Amino acid sequence: MIIPLTNLPAFKQKALLWASTFNAVCYLDSNSFNDPYGKFDTLIAIGARAEVTEQAGNAFEQLETFRKDNPGWITGFFGYDLKNEIEQLLSSNPDGLQFPDLYFFAPEHLIIIRDDQAEIISSLPKFVIDHIEQQELVMPASQPAVTLEARFTKQEYIDAVTGIQEHINRGDIYVTNFCQEFFAEHAHINPLGIFTRLNDVSPNPFSTFFKWKDNYILGASPERFLAKRGSKLISQPIKGTAKRNPDAKTDEQVKHQLRNHPKELQENVMIVDLVRNDLTRSAKQGSVKTEELFGIHSFQYVHQMISTVVCELQDGLPAIQAIKNTFPMGSMTGAPKISAMQLMEQYERSKRGVYSGAVGYFSPDDDFDFNVVIRSLLYNSVKQYLSFHAGSAITYHAIAEKEYEECLLKAQAVMEVLGGLK
């Protein structure tokens, strides 16, 4: 069933309000960003008629089986620690969230919004519309401030970066993504209210409200991990960040400086090379190419340097295998990839979990699209544990104090929504 929408924002709010009453929800919003590879403006998957929940071990194999049994739309997430299934790696840092490493569900109801129309894919489309229309939009109750604690003091972070750079000097790695957690224990939040505020404060092309039972992913991600369109694979790694300036003329100068900054260019090209290498495992010979190098894209708080790497998928290679061949994404690991992941396990103080993973969907035509879980709040409402990670690229030329400030810049929207950092 396709229905016209006269008030798109109200419809999306009501649909998400109703969807959030189910145990499984995946809301993906492009926030009207111009995306040549997007299939829709908004997708809302509601309720699980079938689901798969796995820890690292044979999770990808179990997802293959689940996909064969559910060839229509499925949505879900890959956790970063699936790396331990793909390579001989371990994750032993503290984990306050206890999310699974993989979760996907086939929805009972699906809503796809394009332009000013909503397509309802359900055995009970009128039931869906009626329940959405019955929702009353009320101002959410004010959220008490939640103060996040940091796993690192500024000096501890600087010391860790110095240690990482010693490994770079020795040639162990060239670049890595070093991440730190900000967290709150005994946190009481309204996940839907927080997501709504976050999406208002920091709209991004891969915004996510994901609910799995009592667990939530509240995301404002600007980054695509990997998409499949027909026989084409698309990856768009982000490396390079600059704080926006409210003065338009100065802001243009900031963009120009980012586009020509040696350290940012070095970061980006290293990760592009890594992504190109990852894609060769799934690509037809000679088909890997860089469609855009060092593109500057602007968001609410930051300018980002984004490159686009594409290839043609090998004939007969399963879509899930193509994801496994590139996971975790190069922008969140480093180069060489395995060495960087091993090293970050030593220097980081928390398990990444879903952070540095991916949320997205598979469609009935076997296309898929997954974001990178960054700029995202993770919440276990039973444990009352709230978590937010931020990372930055460490290279030989990195200045530790500036990398620390970059982490705080990336956390700015979340801090604004929650109330601050202790």
| Secondary structure letter of residue 71 according to DSSP | -
Give the pLDDT of residue 193. 93
CB atoms within 10 A of CB 57: 12
Q: How many residues are present in the chain?
A: 422
Q: Are 63 and 321 within 8 A, CB to CB?
A: no
The number of beta carbons lying within 10 Å of the beta carbon of residue 2 is 10
As given in the structure block, the two tokens for residue 356 are 């540095």
DSSP state of 310: E
Lowest mean pLDDT among 158-162, 193-197, 350-354, 411-415: 411-415
The residue type found at 178 is F
Rg (CA), the chain: 21
Whether the per-residue pLDDT at 330 is higher than 90: the answer is: yes
Give the separation between CA 165 and CA 175, rounded to whole angstroms: 9
> Over 80: is that where the pLDDT of 139 sits?
no
Encoding tokens for residue 357?
């993973």
pTM, two decimals, is 0.96
Whole-angstrom Cα distance, residue 243 to residue 258? 10
Among left, alpha and beta (phi > 0; psi -120 to 50; other), residue 161 is alpha
Q: What's the pLDDT at 138?
A: 81
Residue found by looking up tokens 């409402």 in the block:
381
In Å, the largest CA–CA distance within the chain is 64
pLDDT of residue 145: 86
Confidence of residue 416 (pLDDT cuts 50, 70, 90): confident
pLDDT digits (tens, 9 = 90+) for 75-85: 999 999 999 99
Angstrom CA distances, 234 to 4, 307, 341, stand at: 31, 10, 23
**pLDDT band for position 100 (50/70/90)?**
very high
Looking at residue 277, what is its pLDDT? 96
Looking at every residue in the chain, the average pLDDT score rounds to 95
**pLDDT at residue 143 greater than cutoff 80:** no
Q: Report the C-alpha gap between 385 and 98 in whole angstroms.
A: 10
Q: CA 85 to CA 100: how far, in whole Å?
A: 13
Q: What percentage of the chain has pLDDT greater than the value 90? A: 92
**421 pLDDT exceeds 90?**
no
User: Does the pLDDT at position 140 exceed 80?
Assistant: no
Domains and CATH numbers, the chain: 2-418 (3.60.120.10)
Rounded distance between C-alpha atoms, residue 370 and residue 38, angstroms: 11
**Phi, psi (5° rounding) for residue 293?**
-115, 130
CA distance 188 to 382: 10
The answer to whether 46 and 22 have CB atoms below 8 angstroms apart is: yes
Token pair for 371? 């974001």
Cα–Cα dist 147/189, whole Å: 12
pLDDT of residue 263 exceeding 90, the answer is: no
228 with 201: CB under 8 angstroms?
Answer: no
How many helices (DSSP H) and strands (DSSP E) are in the chain?
Answer: 12, 20
The dihedral through the CA atoms of 148, 222, 165, 342 has a sign that is positive
Q: How confident is the model at residue 362 (pLDDT cuts 50, 70, 90)?
A: very high
| Average pLDDT for 131-143 | 84
Q: Is the pLDDT of residue 142 over 80?
A: no
Number of other residues whose CB lies within 10 A of the CB of residue 405: 14
- For position 422, what pLDDT does the model report? 67
